[in-house]
Each structure stands twice: as structure tokens, then as C-alpha cells.
Amino acid sequence: MLFLCIVLAALLSAFAQGRPASPYIVDEIILTTGIGTGKQPNGAVPIRREIRDLQQNYPDTWNLYLLGLQSFQMVDQKDPLSFYQIAGIHGVPYVPWANAQGIPGKRTGYCPHQNVMFFGWHRAYLALYEQQLYKHVLNISQQFPEPLCERYATAADQFRIPYWDWAVENATVPDAILQPTVRVTGTDGQEQEIENPLHHFRFHPTFSSDFDGQWLRMNTTLRWPTSDLSTAESQNNVVVEQFRAYAQGMHDGIGNGFAAASSMNAWSYSWLEHQHGTVHYVIGGMRNRETSAGPQKTDGHMWPLEYSAFEPAFMLHHCNVDRLFDLWMQAHPDQFIEEDDIGYTGSFAIADRTVVDANTPLSPFWKTSNTFWTSGDVRDSTVFGYAYPETQHWNFASDELFRASVNASIAELYTPKVINHMWPGNAESSGGDMKHLVTDNSFTDWTIQTSALRSSLPNVFVVQFSFDGETSSDAVENVGTWNVLMPMGMKMPKASKDKAVGSVNLTPSLVDRIAAGKLADLDPKSVVPYLTKRLSWKVYSGDGTIVPSTQLQGLNVTVASTRVLMPADANTPLDASGKKTLYPDVTVGKSGGTKI
């Protein structure tokens, strides 16, 4: 055991020798490599696990994760390899990192959103974060006394960052991110209480050159803050409340996206990215929105993209986004991102109106001393030394068996609950007899198709869809949201014809209406008049104020239906990628409705 600890100490020394002698790296290349430990000859790599799985079943790795993250967050903020500066790559302070030069005067971070670079860029970003966090994990694993040293050395070898699956059925906010302090086993082998590095990041200090306004006054990252003053506190009870309100919609939306998206571009644009935006909202909080505590006074760090990466939950969230991308790609191995003009959604390093594809550089993530990684380079997660529980391809004798397993996982985890109620074999046992909704082994699936001229709406906006009550005293039922997140300071020319697009699934809400006796079935003869009378929406800007109906000329809300075949095998995901029938009369004449 002592020999093993000595060997690992030598490995740590080798890591340290890769750093320059000066206290900070200045104008030097920093390679993004991921973590190289734990790889096996058969292609097996360590697994990124769901946060509760890691906490409950891998306690030594969990302990190292917390101690390592605490150490990472304490690194001098002037160091390019600090938590602070790596978080700052995403948004503020809009300066070059690791000598990856940006576009002069561009007031946005390196992160791309609302374009096809979203997947590859964030995958490389997570890999950089993971490799730097791992160095702290490895360092701490060496500091335990015998016999703990060997235990923690083994845990460090398998360490990978966890994800939070916010899209699974009955998802909840992990308790581990809600508590301000946490108990750990320290390097002296004794239990101790520390500030929870998953609850907040404490700035040390806030830099006036990097932040402004309320963000300069806040000493830690905050969620649904009580004010915009230095005394503000997080309201994690509101995080839980808001997540409960949106969790089912996110689950159903991701499930419908797996069924409906026929290309990776569509999966990203129309389904995954706007659900991703909902998580930013429920964790951070948006000013002027109503909560159980009253109107929200100000934004939390997770909401504006400029500040979101400083929030510790950001990486848990984006690790799951990366996993959902991976599941879609493994289920569609012949599909990948397609060439696209990004319009005016450029970033610090990618100019507006650039045509991008799988070979576009992912700045600032250096692959070599003179080349950046590309989306094509990072298509396989094992290039960065990790996989997910559902993507362990080395356990299967053929690609076909592996793909069948991935599809079974998608069907099990993300098929909307109401669809399970409609399956002939288990309808009565799973919450109500919905067999009459299925004819010829298929049912009618209903969605809202959304598009918006970016120049006509704020950079950040939320469309909240509802079913109005039958009388004025009835409560309005929220049935879905469409979130478009972009940097607040991004400039969009008024003449721009760029559009944002999205989809919101209505079928689960309609089935709820059927169960309540307020709708007969999913047939157009029943649904179209119901939606014409009941479907409404409000549009909120990024500051929580309502966009006046007179300013919604660039919004286009259209209802569509698709016949979806119920597969004979419940382990097969639904396929909703067939021809859509549009019903313009449902929304025509409504502000932001179908334009004829």
C-alpha cells in the first residue's frame, strides 16, 4: 500500500511539472485532454454517474469530489486554471483565455448558443473542467494517511464528474446541492463540516474589471436571491418549488424530442436546448416572476448566460445535456451536426454569419499547440476518457446489440408517462384506461411549433403556454414553455431574418384533460376546437417583464399533429418523426399566432 501511494505521489509530481515556473500561465497554450486514467485495453473508460448514484454507492469518490471541488474553487482567481477563470470562459469577462484570441469588441463569451456548435463546444468545456478538477482530486487523494491512502487512490483513478438527470420521470433537485454545508472525511481521516462547494461558489473577490451592477455586490453565487444587495441569500425552497412546476414538462419534452427529432440539428434546436434553458431558469431565478415568496426581486447567477458557469450546478446540468446528446447520437449513429449559417448568434471567437460544421474549431479548447478541437473530433466521448451508464459499448458483442440497449434506456427513462398509460398491455395498471386513444396501434401526438424572428424579440425570452379555464374563476393551467437563451448584450440587427425555432409537446396535457372528463379524445375533431378556445400564451423578456402583445409580430405559434405508431416492444422508443399536419386556424388571429 505504501508503494502504491508513493507511485501516485510521483504521478502528481509529473502533473505539477507540466506547469510553468511562474505563478500564472500568461499567453501560453493550455491543452484540453480530459482525464487519461482508468482506461482499459478493451476500450472501457470510467463512467460519469448520476449525482445520487455517486453519492450513495461510491462514497470515497464522492468524498474526493467534494474536497477536490472545494480546493479547485479556492485557487487564486488570477490563475487561468482556477475555477473562476474556467467559469469565465463561458461568459464574462469577455477576455482571451489561454491565448485563444477573440473578435475585438465582441461583448459575449466563448460559449455558442442557438447554433449547432452548442454540443461540441460544451463537451470540450466539460472535459477541460473535469481534467482540472481531477488534479485537485488526485492531489487530495495523496494526503490521506495509511490505510486510507490506497482506498482514495483507487477512487481517484475512477473519478469522473457526475451529472444531474433533471429529465427522468419524477426527477427532483438533488439534496446535495441544496445544503449550505456538508460533512466530509478530511485528509486527517476525521469527519468535518465544510462549506458545500455544490451549494455556492464564494468569489474571492469579485473583480470590478469583470463584473458590474448587482453581480459586483454579490459575494457568492445565488439562486432566486432575496435581493440584489451584498446581504442577499439564496432561496433554495423556491428552486425546489419551481423545479416541481416544470419537471414533468421537461421530461415529456425530452421524451418527445427523442421520438420526433429526425436530425441532430433538430434535436439540438427544437428540443434539447430550450429544455436546457428551463433548468437555467429554475436554478437561477428570473426577476419579476411570481413565486410563493412573492414577486422575484432579481436574477440569480444561473439565469443569464454571462454568469451561469460560476454556479456550481451548471456543470451538473451540462453534464446531463452532454449525456442526452450522447444518447441521441448512439441511437442515430449515421447522423451528426449538419452545416449551418449561425446568423447573428456568434460568440467571442466565432464571427456572426459564419457557416459552421463538424470541422469548425472549438475555441478556446486546444487539441495541440496550434489546433483547436472540433465537434467531429469529440463525437466519441471516450476521446476525453469517459462514458455514461447507458453508453458502455465495450460490454456488447455487436453495434446492433449496443444500439438496442441504448434505445431501451431511452424508452425506459424518457417515454412520457401518459404514453405508458396508453400502452394496451399496461393501461389499466398504470393510471387509467386510455385504450380508446389508440387506434390501429397508433395515436395522434400534438405539438406546438414555434418560431420567432430574433430581431423582433429580446435576446432572452420565455413563452409560457397555458390552457385557459372554462370560467374566469378557473385557474389557468400551464402546459409548457419555450425558452430562448442568448447573451443579454448580443447585438441583433433589426433587418436580420434569423429565426429561433422550438417545439412544445401538448399530448400529456391533453391526456390529463381527457382523464378529467374535459376532452373526449385525441382526434382532431375534439382537440382543434378545444385548443382554439383554450390555448393561450404569454411572452416574458429576460428580465421577467411581459412583452406587450403589440410587439409579437415576429412570433409564430402553430399547432401540429403527427400519427405515432405504438411499437410492439416497450423497449423501443416512439417514432414521431412522420409527416406533420398543421392547424393554422387554432392560433390565427391571436397575437403571435399563425400568420396567413
Domain boundaries, the chain: 2-15+31-196+216-354+368-395, 415-586
d(CA 418, CA 72) in angstroms, rounded, equals 43
- Do the Cβ atoms of 538 and 464 come closer than 8 Å? yes
What whole-number percentage of the chain has pLDDT above 70?
Answer: 92
d(CA 351, CA 498) in angstroms, rounded, equals 15
Question: What pLDDT, in 10s, does the model give residues 456-500?
Answer: 999 999 999 999 866 555 667 899 999 999 987 777 888 788 999
Using only C-alpha atoms, the chain has a radius of gyration, in whole angstroms, of: 24
Q: What is the pLDDT of residue 68?
A: 99
Q: Cβ of 571: how many Cβ atoms within 10 Å?
A: 13
- Do the Cβ atoms of 309 and 379 come closer than 8 Å? no
Question: pTM of the full predicted structure?
Answer: 0.94
d(CA 282, CA 247) in angstroms, rounded, equals 10
What letter does residue 270 receive in the DSSP assignment? I
- Do the Cβ atoms of 166 and 320 come closer than 8 Å? yes
Q: What is the pLDDT of residue 15?
A: 46
CA-to-CA separations, 228 to 88, 219, 283, 287, 296, in angstroms, rounded: 21, 11, 16, 10, 11
Using DSSP, state whether 380 is helix, strand or coil: coil
d(CA 572, CA 568) in angstroms, rounded, equals 8
- Do the Cβ atoms of 164 and 100 come closer than 8 Å? no
- Among residues 42, 240, 60, 70, the alpha carbon closest in space to that of 153 is found at 60
Question: What pLDDT, in 10s, does the model give residues 98-151?
Answer: 999 999 989 899 999 999 999 999 999 999 999 999 999 999 999 999 889 999
pLDDT level of residue 21 (50, 70, 90 thresholds): very low
Residue 291 has pLDDT above 60, yes or no: yes
Residue 570 has pLDDT above 90, yes or no: no
Within 8 A by CB and 6+ apart from 244, the residues are none
pLDDT level of residue 578 (50, 70, 90 thresholds): confident
pLDDT level of residue 595 (50, 70, 90 thresholds): confident
Question: What pLDDT, in 10s, does the model give residues 159-193?
Answer: 999 999 999 999 999 999 999 999 999 999 999 99
- Among residues 248, 330, 265, the alpha carbon closest in space to that of 573 is found at 330
Residue 377 has pLDDT above 50, yes or no: yes
d(CA 309, CA 115) in angstroms, rounded, equals 19
pLDDT level of residue 432 (50, 70, 90 thresholds): low
- Do the Cβ atoms of 261 and 267 come closer than 8 Å? yes
Distance in Å from the first CA to the final CA of the chain: 75
d(CA 396, CA 367) in angstroms, rounded, equals 30
Higher pLDDT, 540 or 292: 540
- Do the Cβ atoms of 510 and 561 come closer than 8 Å? no
- Do the Cβ atoms of 431 and 421 come closer than 8 Å? yes
Q: Which CATH class is domain 2-15+31-196+216-354+368-395?
A: mainly alpha
Owner of C-alpha cell 471516450: 382
d(CA 138, CA 16) in angstroms, rounded, equals 11
d(CA 258, CA 235) in angstroms, rounded, equals 33
Q: Cβ of 338: how many Cβ atoms within 10 Å?
A: 13
pLDDT level of residue 565 (50, 70, 90 thresholds): confident
Residue 44 has pLDDT above 50, yes or no: yes
Q: Which CATH class is domain 415-586?
A: mainly beta
**Geometric angle at alpha carbon 379, from 376 and 381, rounded to 5°:** 145
Which grid coordinates are listed for 585?
Answer: 386556424
Q: What is the pLDDT of residue 23?
A: 40
What whole-number percentage of the chain has pLDDT above 90?
Answer: 81
Residue 429 has pLDDT above 80, yes or no: no
- Do the Cβ atoms of 541 and 461 come closer than 8 Å? yes
In this structure, of 26-40, 249-263, 294-308, 332-346, the range with the lowest mean pLDDT score is 26-40
- Among residues 317, 307, 289, the alpha carbon closest in space to that of 224 is found at 289
d(CA 266, CA 264) in angstroms, rounded, equals 5
Burial of 2 (0-12, 13-18, 19+ CB in 10 A): exposed
